Structure 1
Amino acid sequence: MPSCNLLSEQWLPVVTVDGESELLSLGDVFRHARGLRCLQGEAPIVTAALYRLLLAFLHRVHEGPATEGEWAELWRNGVDTGRLDAYEAAHRDEFWLLGGERPFFQCPELADVPPKPATHLLLYRAKGNNTTLFDHATDEERPDLPADAAARWLVTVQAFDTGGTKTPYRPGGTKSSKAGLGNYFGTVLLEGATLWETLLLNAVVYDPPGGRPLATTTPGDRAIWEREHPPGPAPVASAFPQGWVDLLTWPSRRILLHSKEKDGRVYVDGAVVAPGTQLGAELIEIEAMAAFRRRGGKKLIYDPVRLEMLRGVWRHATDLLLPARAVGERRRPQTIDEVARLVDLRFLDERKAVTLRVFGQKLMSNPGAVEYWSEEALPIKLALLRAQDTGWNLEQLLGRAVKLADAVGDELQRTVVNYHEGLRSRFDRRKHQSFLAERYWPRLDAEFALLLSDLGDLVTRYEPDSPEGREESRGLFERWRRHVDTTAKEAVGAWIDEFPGGSPRQILEVARAEMIFLGALNDLTDVYRHEIRQYTGS
C-alpha cells in the first residue's frame, strides 16, 4: 500500500526564526514559510536540490508569478493558501514516496530489477568498487534509511548523482551515465530573512506562454510529477527541457525505492538507480541559477562558474553580482537579474541585506566518486546588483581587487619554484605550494565579504560622481590591498619558519626567493593603486 505522502509527511529539514531545527511536510513548509529561517539539509547538495524542488512547487502552485506585480503580491502576502490547498488535492496521488502506481520522482517499471543497498542513494557512501573521501563501507553493509532521509536523497540524486556505471533497466541494457546537472555549475541562491523571502528572491517571473523566464520556456512546461505518465525505464540519450520547472525536476536517473516496516516505522532498505534522461541543451540556454563567463576566442562558448577548493567564491563576485558591460560577454544568474529589476521597480528596497549562497559538488577524475562539497556565502546589499548600471565602476574596481589577489597568489606559488630551482635538490613542490595556499586564500574570504558589505552601504549613500563617495571607495579598496599584502607576507613568513631548513645554502636560497617575492609584491601593489585611483576618478 502507498505510504509516506510527501505533501503531509515530515521530511524537509528547516530552521525556524527562533533557531530550532524541525522536519516539515512539503505543504507545511509553504504554510509556515514566513516563520521559518531557512532550509538546511545534511549536506550542501541536499540543501541546493531541495531548494530547487521548492521553487518548482511554488511556480506550479501559483502558475506564476506571471508578472512582477504578481511577484510583489506574493512577497507581501505570502503563499496563496487557497491555491496551495487546491493543488495538493489535485496532485496528492503523485507525491507518494513508496508504492502506488507512480511513486514520487521514480520509475515504477523498475519493479523487476533487483535493488542495490540503500546506500546507493547516499553520494558520500562508497558503492561497489568506488571509494570516496567520506566512507569506506562495502555493499555487504546494508543500512536502512528512514523514509524522510530517503526522500531527501532521492531528490538530491536526481540533481547531483555522479556519473559512471549504474544498474541497467534490463539485462544487456545501458549502464553508463553522465553526472547529474548540478555537478556542472555552482548553484546560486539569494537568501533573505525568512524562508519565504528566500523562495521569492529566487522565484523568477514564470510565464510559460510568454516565454519567461528564459526564451527556451514553452507553454508545455510542467514538473515531473505533473506528467501524464512517469518516465519509462529506458534511458534517453538527449532531450531538451520544456521550460524552467521541467529543468528543476529533471529525471537524470530512473530510480525505484524498496521499503520495509520496522518497529512501526517505514524504512528504505534498497534502491534501483539506473541511467535516466541526459540533457541535450547548452546550460546557458536553460539554467537560471548559474553564472556564465565567455571563454576567449571568436566562438561563443560559455563556461559556468564553479566553486574551487580554497579559493573562495568571492573571486567570482563580478560574474555573480554585476551585469555585463557588453552583450554576450558573460551572464550573471537570471534569478539575480530579476531581483535587480525588482529593485528598479521599487518592489524591493536597495538597502535590504541578503546573503548570496553558492552550492557545489566536485567529482574526482573517477566520475563515480565525490571529491568535495562546497557551500559559500557572501553578505551583500541589493544595491550592489544595480550599482554598475547607475555609474559606479564596480566591475573594474572589483575586477582589480580580485586580479590583485590572484596575481599575489601566483607569486606565492612562484616563490616555491624559485627556491626549488636554486636549491637543485629533491623537493616536494606540491606540499610547499599547498602550505602557502592554505595560509593565503582562506584568510581573504572575510575581508572581501566586508568589502562587499561596505560597498553596498556606500552606493546607497552617495551618487557615483560624489567626491566623498569616490574618496571613501578608494579607502575601501586600499584596505583590501593592505590585507592582501599582509596576508601574503605572513604566509611566506610561516613557510620560511616551517620548511626550508637551516643549512647555509638553504638559508641563501630562501632569502633569494623571499627577495624576489617581495619585489614582485611591491610591483603588483603599485599597479593596483594606480588603477584604483583611475577608476575612482582621482
Structure 2
Amino acid sequence: MSIGNDNTSFNLMDRQWLQVIMKQNGAVLELSIKETLRRAKDIECLTGDNTIQQFALVRLLEAIVYGSLGNDFNEDAWWGLYERGPEDEDVWHRIEQYCDAYHDRFDLFDAKQPFYQVAGLHTAKHEVSGLERIILDVPAGDRLFTIRGGESLQTMSAAEAARWLVTVQAFDPSGIKSGAVGDPRVKGGKGYPIGVAWSGHLGGYICEGNDLWTTLMLNYVSRHAISAGHMDVDWTTDTPIWERPPLTQCAQDGYDQPAESTGVPRYFHGPATLYTWQSRRILLSHDGETVNGVLICNGDRLKPQNAENYEPMTSWRRSDAQEKKLKIPVVYMPRKHDPSRALWRNLPTITVADAYDVASVPERLRPLTFNWLQQLQLGTSLDMPIRIHAYGVEYGNQEAVIDTIVDDKLDLNLSVLTSKNPQVGDAIAKAVNIVDAGIRELAGFAGNLAKAAGRPEETPRAHAHELAYSQFDYAFRQWIATVTEETIDEDIARWKKTAKSLLYRLCDDLSQQASPQAIVGREISSRNPKTGETTSRHYDAAVAQIWFRAKINTIIPKEGE
C-alpha cells in the first residue's frame, strides 16, 4: 500500500463526486463542484452516503460562495444575488473566476498540495490505517452493526473518498491519532487528543429552500448580521483553507488554539474559515483513482466557547460552568441537539430571539443565519415554505466514538422564522408548552391507573409519555407547516382544538386498556411530611379520567374562559 501517485489526478472542480438530487425528476447524479454551482437552481439538494455528509458538503459549497462573493454585503446586494442566481452571467463569472483561480487546490491526489490533506504526511513506521477510520458510519471496533463489510471497507472510489474526507474534517471523533513525523506535539509516536472536529461541537442548522441555490443563499450571512454591540468582531481575515498556503504536519499559528486561549475569539476568523476548518492532518493512500487507506493525525485544535459571532449555523446558550472554569464574564456554548428530543420541541428557542434590555446579557442566542434572514425581512417579502434541517453528532466514550447521528427536519413558512411580531413567538411557545404540559398530565393519568390497580407507576408513565410524543410528532409537524404570521391567531386556536382532541383520545385509549383492578380501584393512604397527618383517597379509572380532563381544561381553556 502506498501513499500518493504523481501520475494521478482527481480534481473536485471538474470531476463528478458530489451527489445531488435533481428537481425535475428526482434523479440522483454525481456532479463536479462547478457543475453543481452552475446548475444550483435545477438541483433540489445535496445527498450523500450519510446525513452528516450533507451538512459538511453544504458548508464546503457555502465557503466557495463566501470566497467568490465576499462577506461584506448589504441587504440589497443579497437580494440581487438571490434573484439573479448562477444563471446570470455576471454572477456566474464571479463564481467561475474564483473556482478557476483556486482550481489547483482541489486536486484530491496532487503530489504537493492535495485537497484537505498534507503532502508527505507519514508516521515513523509509515503506517496507514484502513478505511474504517474515515467512514463515520462504521462503529469503532465493531463491523457487525454496519451495512459495510468485506471489500467495501478495503477500497473506495475517489468520489466517495472525497465526500468522506470533507466529512471527517468536520466530524471526526476525538481520541489518540497517529503521530506525524515532524509534529512537535507527538509523544511516543502518538498524537494525543485535541477534541472532536469543529462541526462535532455544534447543533447544526441549515435552512433549506426548494432548490440548492436558494439553500445556499438562505445560509449566506453578511458580516452586517453582527449587532452594533459587537463592533470588535472582525471577519476581514476570514478565508477558506484553499486560500491559505498548504498546511504541514504541524499546527498552524493563528489557527491552532492553545488550551489557555479557550474562549478567545481571534482564532475563529469567520464562517468560511470554520466551514473548512482542518481539525485533522490527513493523507489518503490510493492506487490510481482507487483509495485503499488513510492516515489521520491531529490538526488544529479549536474549542467552541464564544464563537457565536463567527459560526452562523448553530444556536447558543450561556454557560455558568464555563464562565467559572475559564474565569471569563460571559461564555456562550453551542446548544447541541438532544437525539431523544424532536426538533419541533425546541422551536421556540430558534424562531424568536429573546427580548432583553441592551444592558443585559441574554441566556440564549439564535443562529446568526436566522438573525440575518430576519434582518433581510424575507418573511414580509416572500411567502416561502422552507425546511429547517438539524444535524449533529452525539459522541460517547470520552468523545472517541460516535454514538448517535442527529438528522431531523421541520417544514414551516419563512415568516414564522423571521417575524418580528412577538405574538408569533408567543404562539409557537404556547403551542409547544401545551403539548409538554398535556403529555405530563397524560403520564400522570397512566400513573394513576397503575396506582388504582396496585401496580408500579414508572413503566406505564414512561409508555404513555413515549406514545403521546410519537402521536403529537406527526400532528405538530402538519400544523406548523401551515402557520403564517398573518393567520397566527387562527392557527393557535386551531392547534388548541387539535391538541385537546388528541389528548382526550389518548386518555380514552388508555382507559379502554385499564385492568379490572384499576376499574374497581382502591383506597390509597398518604402521610403529610410536614403535619404528620394521614389521609386516604380512592383511586379508580373513572376518577383518574375526571382529574385528567379537569387538568387539560386548565391547560387548554375553552374560548372565553
Is this a same-fold pair by TM over 0.5? Answer: yes
Q: Secondary structure at the match of 1:277?
A: coil
Task: Identify if the C-alpha distance between structure 1 residues 527 and 292 changes in structure 2 by more than 3 Å, giving closer, same or farther.
Answer: farther
What SS does the aligned partner of 1:14 have? strand
The answer to whether the aligner puts 1:16 opposite 2:22 as a matched pair is yes
**1:412 shift after superposition:** 4.8
| 2:389 equivalent in structure 1 | 357
Q: Does 1:268 align with 2:299?
A: no
Which residue identity lines up with residue 430 of structure 2 in the other structure? R
1:201 aligns with: 218
Determine the C-alpha separation between the residues in 1 that align with 2:225 and 2:320.
33
Spell out the pairing of 1:335-346 with structure 2 (5 A cutoff): 335-343=369-377
For residue 300 of structure 2, the aligned residue among 268, 277, 286 is: 277
Deviations along 1:407-436, one digit per CA (max 9) or x if unpaired, are 3334455566667778888x7956x56543
8 Å CA contact 1:440–1:491 kept in 2: the answer is no
Deviation digits for residues 306-342 of structure 1 (CA, Å, limit 9, x no counterpart): 3333531011112121222225242221111111222
Matched residue type, 1:440: A
Alignment of 1:448-527 (within 5 A): 448-456=476-484, 459-460=485-486, 470=489, 472-486=490-504, 488-489=506-507, 492=510, 496=513, 504=517, 508=521, 512=539, 518=545, 521-527=548-554
1:145 corresponds to which of 148, 153, 156? 156
8 Å Cα contact 1:255/1:272 also seen in 2: yes
Say which SS state the counterpart of residue 50 (structure 1) adopts: helix
Q: Which residue of 2 aligns with 1:370?
A: 402
Structure 2 residue aligned with 1:32: 39
Maintained 8 Å contact 1:56/1:223: yes
Q: In the alignment, is the contact (CA less than 8 A) between 2:431 and 2:496 conserved in 1?
A: no
Q: Confirm or deny: 8 A CA contact 1:310 1:438 kept in the other structure.
A: no
What whole-Å deviation, never above 9, does each CA across 1:231-263 have from its counterpart, x for those lacking one? 5345945372221211111111121111113xx
CA RMSD in angstroms comes to 3.7
* 2:230 matches 1:217: no
Match for residue 403 of structure 1 among 433, 440, 447: 433
Deviation of residue 478 (structure 1)?
Answer: 1.5
For 2:65 and 2:287, how far apart are their aligned partners in 1?
A: 32
The one-letter code of the counterpart of 1:7 is M
| Alignment partner of 2:281 out of 225, 229, 254 | 254
| 1:382 and 2:414 are equivalent in the alignment | yes
Partner Cα distance (1:514, 1:366) in 2: 47
For residues 507 and 251 of structure 1, the distance between their equivalents in structure 2, rounded to whole angstroms, comes to: 66
After TM superposition, give the deviation of residue 384 of structure 1 in Å.
1.6
Contact 2:282 2:294 survives alignment (8 Å): yes
Alpha-carbon shift at residue 125 of structure 1 (Å): 0.8
> Matches of 2:495 and 2:412 in 1, distance apart?
16
User: Which residue of structure 2 aligns with residue 334 of structure 1?
Assistant: 368
Contact 1:7 1:95 in 2 (8 A): yes
Deviation string 1:114-164 (CA, Å, 9 cap, x unpaired) is 11001211111133x4678546969x9942111111111111111111222
Match of 1:464 in 2: none
Using a 3 Å threshold, how does the CA distance of structure 1 residues 317 and 88 change in structure 2: closer, same or farther?
Answer: same
1:289/1:333 contact within 8 Å kept? yes
Q: Give the drift of 1:184.
A: 3.0
**C-alpha separation between the residues in 1 aligned to 2:67 and 2:502?**
47
**Cα separation, 2, equivalents of 1:177 and 1:291:** 23
Letter in 1 for 2:342: G
Query: Of residues 422, 427, 439 in structure 1, which corresponds to 2:467?
Result: 439
CA contact (8 A) 2:387 2:412 kept: yes
Contact 1:294 1:300 in 2 (8 A): yes
Matched position secondary structure for 1:84: helix
Within 1, Cα distance between the matches of 2:231 and 2:33? 26
2:191 counterpart SS class: coil
* 2-structure distance, mates of 1:100, 1:433: 61
Secondary structure (helix, strand or coil) at the match of 2:349 reads: helix
| 1:219 CA displacement | 1.5
Residue in 2 aligned with 1:58?
Answer: 65
For 1:173-188, list aligned pairs within 5 A: 173-188=190-205
TM-score when scaled to structure 1? 0.82
Please name the residue that 1:232 is paired with.
Answer: 249
Contact 1:13 1:21 in 2 (8 A): yes
Match of 1:91 in 2: 102
Of 286-295 and 189-198, more deviation after overlay is shown by 286-295
> Which runs of 5 or more residues in structure 2 are unaligned?
1-5, 182-187, 262-266, 324-328, 525-537
CA change 1:448–1:178 in 2 (3 A) is same
- Alpha-carbon distance in 1 for matches of 2:545, 2:354: 35
Cα shift at 1:296 = 8.1
SS in 2 for 1:394: helix
User: Is 1:168 the equivalent of 2:169?
Assistant: no
The one-letter amino acid paired with 1:481 is A
The structure with the larger Rg is 2
Which residue pairs with 2:533 in the alignment?
none
Shift of 1:526: 2.8
Structure 1 CA distance for aligned equivalents of residues 540 and 231 of structure 2: 52
- On the 8 A contact 2:452/2:517 being kept in 1, the answer is no
Give the corresponding residue for 1:466: none
Summarize the alignment of residues 308-327 of structure 1 with structure 2, pairs less than 5 Å apart: 308-326=338-356
Structure 2 CA distance for partners of 1:489 and 1:179, relative to 1, 3 Å: farther
Give the direction of change, closer, same or farther, for the CA distance of 1:287–1:271 in structure 2 (3 Å limit).
Answer: same
Structure 1 residue matching 2:556: 3-state secondary structure: helix
Cα distance in 2 between the residues matched to 1:212 and 1:87: 33
Q: Which amino acid aligns with 2:103?
A: R
Q: Distance in 1 between matches of 2:65 and 2:443?
A: 48
Distance 2:435 2:257 in 1: 42
Distance of aligned partners of 1:30 and 1:409 in 2 relative to their CA distance in 1, 3 Å threshold:
same
One-letter amino acid of the counterpart of residue 190, structure 1: C
Whether the 8 Å CA contact 1:416–1:429 is kept in 2: the answer is no
SS at match of 2:371: helix
Whichever residue aligns with residue 426 of structure 2, its letter is: Q
Which amino acid is the alignment partner of residue 369 of structure 2?
A: T
CA contact (8 A) 1:351 1:460 kept: no
The letter for the 1-side match of 2:112 is E
**Pair 314,141 (structure 1): closer, same or farther in 2 beyond 3 Å:** closer
* SS in structure 2 at match of 1:393: helix
Q: Relative to 1, partners in 2 of residues 1:512 and 1:133: Cα closer, same or farther, differing over 3 Å?
A: farther
TM-score, length basis structure 2? 0.79
Q: Secondary structure at the match of 2:14?
A: coil
Please say if residues 408 and 521 of structure 1, whose CA atoms lie closer than 8 Å, have aligned partners that are also in contact.
no
Cα distance, 1:399 vs. partner? 1.7
CA contact 1:12–1:23 (8 Å) conserved in 2: yes
* Aligned-pair identity (%): 22
Partner of 2:117: 106
Please give the alpha-carbon distance, in whole angstroms, between the structure 2 residues aligned to 1:523 and 1:370.
Answer: 45
By how many angstroms is 1:505 displaced?
Answer: 8.2
Distance 2:314 2:365 in 1: 9
